[in-house]
Each structure stands twice: as C-alpha cells, then as structure tokens.
C-alpha cells in the first residue's frame, strides 16, 4: 500500500483545519469591533493573549507551505501575492532552483518564480496596473522544447485598466 494517498489526505485535513482556525481567529478579532452589549460579542474583548497565541500557531501551520515544496519536488514554483517576508522565509530555495525571478510587493500583488529549468528572456512587466506585476519567460524543458510561461495576477474586481493597457498586453503577447 502506498503512503502517498495517506499523506495527501493528511495534508488536506491540515489545510482545512488551519483554514477554519484562521477564519475563527479573524472573526474573534473582528467581532469586538461591533457596537453591541451582547455577551457573545463582548466575550471576545478579553482573550487577547490567547487569540495572539493561536494566531502564532496558525502562522506556523502556514509555514508548512515550504514543507509541501520539499515533498512534491516541483521543477517550477510560481508564487502569487508574496511579500518581502515570504521571500525571506524561502531563503535558500535558490540552491535547488537556480533560475529565479523575484518581484515581492507589500501590496500583495508580488510574484516569485523559482525554476530548475532554464529561463530564457525572463521579464517582469506591469501591464494591468503600475502596481500589479506579470511575468513572462521562455522555459527550456528537459526535452529541449521551448515553451512560454505567463505568470499573471487576474485583474481585481473594480480595478480599471489604465489607457492603453489592452494594447500593451496584445503587443507583449505578439512578441512570442
């Protein structure tokens, strides 16, 4: 019997648990902001140390992202919305992934690209918005085939594209 399916189930269970715990902590932090004298709202005024401790444990659960990379051993890792903190947490990953392209941003629109496969003409562009990066790179597969990798962040709801953005995107695509 293979251990892999059991590990996947365990990872799924852990991710769901960490997600539910995160949601509960967010609610527990936000509920006291409501203007109400109801006991079930006011009860969250007091356990600040406990909530902070649980948030720390939840963050430790999210740090298992790096463990997942090690277990799955992908050739290419593209991370969306990383900040400088994420880049620091992934320090040393370049030893296994020599081809990199980084654009961490504190506005949560950053991009990090790690690859074992050779990147040709990698570039970061700001096509949708001056604060939202996109990545385009050619990747040489082990077979020798050259493919184009696009790493884009979908346009957030309500974000208007600057004038000429559609033309810039079309021009960028046509350069392949």
Would you call 34 helix, strand, or coil by DSSP? coil
pLDDT over 60 at 4, yes or no: no
**Residues of the chain above pLDDT 90, percent:** 26
- List pLDDT tens digits, range 47-65: 877 877 777 777 776 666 7
pLDDT over 60 at 72, yes or no: yes
**Token couple for 18:** 């960490």
Residues β-bridged to residue 136: 123, 150
The DSSP 8-state label assigned to residue 161 in this structure reads: P
pLDDT over 70 at 82, yes or no: yes
pTM: 0.58
**What size, in residues, is the chain?**
176
Range from 34-38, 98-102, 138-142 carrying the lowest mean pLDDT: 34-38
**Which are the contacts of 84, defined by CB distance < 8 A and separation ≥ 6?**
104, 106
């Amino acid at each position: 019997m293979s251990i892999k399916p059991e590990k996947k189930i365990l990872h799924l269970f852990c991710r769901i648990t960490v997600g539910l715990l995160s949601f509960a902590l967010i609610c527990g932090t936000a509920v006291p902001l409501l203007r109400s004298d109801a006991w079930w709202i006011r009860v969250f005024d007091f356990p600040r140390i406990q909530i902070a401790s649980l948030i720390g444990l939840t963050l430790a659960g999210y740090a298992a992202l790096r463990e997942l990379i090690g277990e799955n051993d992908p050739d290419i890792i593209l991370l969306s919305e990383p900040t400088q903190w994420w880049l620091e947490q992934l320090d040393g990953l370049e030893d296994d992934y020599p081809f990199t392209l980084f654009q961490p941003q504190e506005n949560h629109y950053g991009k990090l690209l790690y690859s074992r496969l050779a990147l040709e003409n990698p570039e970061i562009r700001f096509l949708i918005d001056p604060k939202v990066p996109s990545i385009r790179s050619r990747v040489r597969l082990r077979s020798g085939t050259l493919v184009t990798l696009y790493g884009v962040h979908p346009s957030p709801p309500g974000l208007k594209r600057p004038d000429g953005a559609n033309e810039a995107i079309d021009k960028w695509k046509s350069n392949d």
